[in-house]
Amino acid sequence: MVNLDNQPTVQDRAPSPRTVAVWLVLEILAVERAPWWAAQWLAEGHDGPALRELAGLNGTDPRAVRDLLPTALAEMGIEPPSTRLAAATESFRDLAHMLVSHRADPRWVIARVEQIIVQAHYDDEVLDLPLGHLYGLDDEWESGWGRTPAQLKAEVEARCSEQLRLAAPSPTHRSS
């Protein structure tokens, strides 16, 4: 699709530094994209030596990106979640927001949940989260057994609403 008005598309926009920190913990980060995101964060007014160095990488050396990213995030005041459960909870909340704001469809949400569950090593605490209950729904949806697509969509919407009702985590504070 051609972008005739020269406005950035959703695919062009960098995720927030907080989102990238969550993805880093969950090991679902598209490492090759991080230098581009760093350049966009610089353009948005963030700054720091590690962030500038990260923006100068070409993304072909994942180790260099992974080595710099935590420092660049720290320069922006972002501390990654301390556990996979905390990261999954935050990511699930973001997915739920995307669904209820019509920026994602139910099948895409299910696919992302599946990816997070796998990367969280099928952790029971992650599976017990409201969106964790969606694990395996992709099989039911694709195979055509069980519930109808409308019922599956309603299940995803209900789980997203439930995920959003969970108490927000307390902010992470750094020790001085």
DSSP 80: -
Of the chain, the end-to-end C-alpha distance in Å amounts to 49
Q: Distance (Å, rounded) from C-alpha 59 to C-alpha 144?
A: 40
Digit-coded pLDDT (tens) for 18-34: 999 999 999 999 999 99
Digit-coded pLDDT (tens) for 105-123: 999 999 999 999 999 999 9
Greater confidence, 1 or 70? 70
Phi-psi region of 6 (alpha: psi -120 to 50; beta: other; left: phi over 0): left
Binned at pLDDT 50, 70 and 90, residue 12 comes out as low
If we measure between CA atoms, which residue out of 91, 160, 85, 159 comes closest to residue 122?
A: 85
Residue 117 identity: I
Residue with tokens 């090593």: 121
| pTM for the full predicted model | 0.80
The C-alpha R_g of the chain, in whole angstroms, comes to 18
SS3 25: helix
Digit-coded pLDDT (tens) for 41-76: 999 999 999 999 999 999 899 999 999 999 999 999
